[in-house]
Chains A and B, each alone.
Chain A
Amino acid sequence: MRGFLDTHRTGQAVALGEDQRPVPLRKHAPGLGDFIMDETVAEYIRRTVLKIPRDEIKTMLQKWGFLSEAQLQTINFHQLKDNISQDVVQLCEENSADIKQAAVLDIIYNYIYPNKRVWSVYQMNKTGEETDFFDLTDFKKKIKRRLRSALKNVTITFREYEDNAVWIRIAWGTPYTKPNQYKTSYVVYHSQTPYVFISASVLKSNLPLLCQALVVASNYHDIREMELRSHSLNSLKDIVFKRYSQNFQTYYPKPLRERDVAPETDLRIIQENKNEKERIERVNREIFGDGPQPKLEFAQYKLETMFKSDPKMDVLDKKEPFRCLVKFSSPHLLESLKSLAPAGMADAPLSPLLTCIPQKARNYFKIREKKGLFPGSFVSP
């Protein structure tokens, strides 16, 4: 926690490797031969740089703060990305970078481009009402202890950001193999909330362990997946933190007035379906609010309902549920749902099954045969 931390403002990083060796200080004198950088680290840094868009490489390296401003000056950022990455690796070698620094760079990249991953929301529960003071150091220590005791070889990297979020990067290994830096898990935890956003690694088997570590470290009792997934981390946060704009009665009059003075309304053009349109707009606003919608890419409904057919034909009239999966997908699902009715492609209001997504904070549903009288009621798994 020193040396390179003072150069950036957005957050601070704590790098901790599997061994407890202290973070080496940045060396300004180039060409020191006492530390030879691991080839895998070099390749990892190179690939990470290659992922960054060219005109952002410089600022991201500045945020990283591992290379001095003077070193950054020597890089020609207008050449091919391939060559830039080679230059960066060379400088890192001079500074004797190890996997901890490389991991920090990866966190920085993922923080700026969270949309490259799929995030899933988890909610933690407490039994009692006791309110603990959240101690970050303790939290980190507990997580590390928990994971390392089970797997031995893990790269765990933390980085805190201003919005109370702790970003945790975990590269998984096993007691006998080195951590795989390319199949990492990411956890974003907001300390004042019971929500955790996890972008799981391809190595799914470690997920229970990770959840356990999180529950223990944050003094919770229990954790469950909320069935809410998206590429857009911020939208997930908007949904679970209830940050997206919802409808409030006070909102009505304003847009209507705006409408009247809008220049497009040539008096010679008469909207015949004005009332209907206004109704649709009103209904739509009641459901979706005025602001932009959180960004989700899909909603999935698993139907396990009985097939109802004419009693005369006893085809398929069995007790067996009729299984079917309905998946809605769009680059921006909620906005598309919102524009369905105004575009005249669906009747307003839409089915509550579609519109409840942000309220229920989930986009994976299972629909079972109704037990009560409420139509469209659904039961969580």
Chain B
Amino acid sequence: MAVLRPFDKLPALNSAVLLLVSSDEGLQQKLAEAILREKKNFKINIHLATSLPLPSERDHLRPRIDMIVFMIDIKSKYSLKNVEASLAYVDASFFLGKVCFLVTGVGRVNCCSIEMNAIWKLGEIYSSPVLFCELEMEGIRVATAQRLLRMLQICAGHIPGVSALSFGSLMRSSAND
């Protein structure tokens, strides 16, 4: 199966491509729409997938992907498993700052069916940041969309002097020493 690579295609001018991987398609769609609604000065494409690998028949149509967001629903063990299985199809160089885990449903920590530690560990193993949010709530959805957009901008190289790698290490540097 095809492994997703960050640099096997040329970037398009003034645009960024985000890949959202989530088993909950409703939330995924909502988040994508929220991101698109944000004002920005570059073109953005969002690819939605339920899991990886991506179907190979579309490989030639797919632009270079700048950032992958894996969504994990705190209430669904299945979503975590799905993400863990999908991670195998991501090239290692993606983990140099171009992957992020988005934990959703934090508003219901009480109905949590996932060990929080498992999520922290996932972030640690793949050295990628873990963001928390509750996408059901409009305000938080917008705030989360903005945060992801910022990261995407960096991953797509739109912020001079800040690379995905350096930003990734910033997000981590605190956690690691």
Contact = CB atoms under 8 A, between A and B. Distances in A.
Contacts of B47: 269-272
A269 B35 CA distance: 10
B55 A266 contact: no
Given A266-B36, A269-B48, A270-B45, A275 B54 contact: no
B46 interface: yes
B contact face: mostly helix, strand, loop, or mixed: mixed
A269 B29 contact: yes
Contacts of A343: 25
Interface string A338-369: 00000111000000000000000000000000
A276 interface: yes
Contacts of B23: 344
A154 B45 CA distance: 73
B49 A273 contact: yes
B133 interface: no
Contact of B55 (A264, A273, A344): A273
A270 B47 CA distance: 5
B10 to A, nearest CB: 18
Interface in B21-60: 23, 25, 29, 32-33, 36, 43-50, 54-55, 57-58
A268 interface: yes
A68 to B, nearest CB: 54
B78 interface: yes
Interface string B77-93: 01000000000000000
A309 B33 CA distance: 51
A5 B23 CA distance: 59
A336 to B, nearest CB: 16
B58 A272 contact: yes
Contacts of B29: 264, 269
Contacts of A275: 55, 57
Interface in A219-276: 264, 266, 268-273, 275-276
Nearest to B32: A269
Contacts of A345: 78
A290 to B, nearest CB: 20
A163 to B, nearest CB: 39
Contacts of B45: 268-270
Contact of B46 (A264, A268, A276, A344): A268
B46 A270 contact: yes
B169 to A, nearest CB: 29
Given A269-B29, A344-B23, A345-B78, A276 B44 contact: no
Contact of A270 (B25, B48, B50): B48
Given A268-B44, A269-B32, A270-B48, A276 B55 contact: yes
A268 B36 CA distance: 8
A345 B47 CA distance: 21
Contacts of A270: 45-48
B76 to A, nearest CB: 10
Contacts of A276: 55
Interface of B: 19, 23, 25, 29, 32-33, 36, 43-50, 54-55, 57-58, 62, 78
Given A269-B47, A272-B19, 18 more contacts: A264-B29, A266-B33, A268-B36, A268-B46, A269-B32, A269-B33, A269-B36, A269-B45, A269-B48, A270-B46, A270-B48, A272-B48, A272-B58, A272-B62, A273-B48, A273-B50, A275-B55, A344-B25
17 contacts: A264-B29, A266-B32, A266-B33, A266-B36, A268-B46, A269-B32, A269-B47, A269-B48, A270-B48, A271-B47, A272-B54, A272-B55, A273-B48, A273-B50, A273-B55, A275-B55, A344-B23
Interface of A: 264, 266, 268-273, 275-276, 343-345
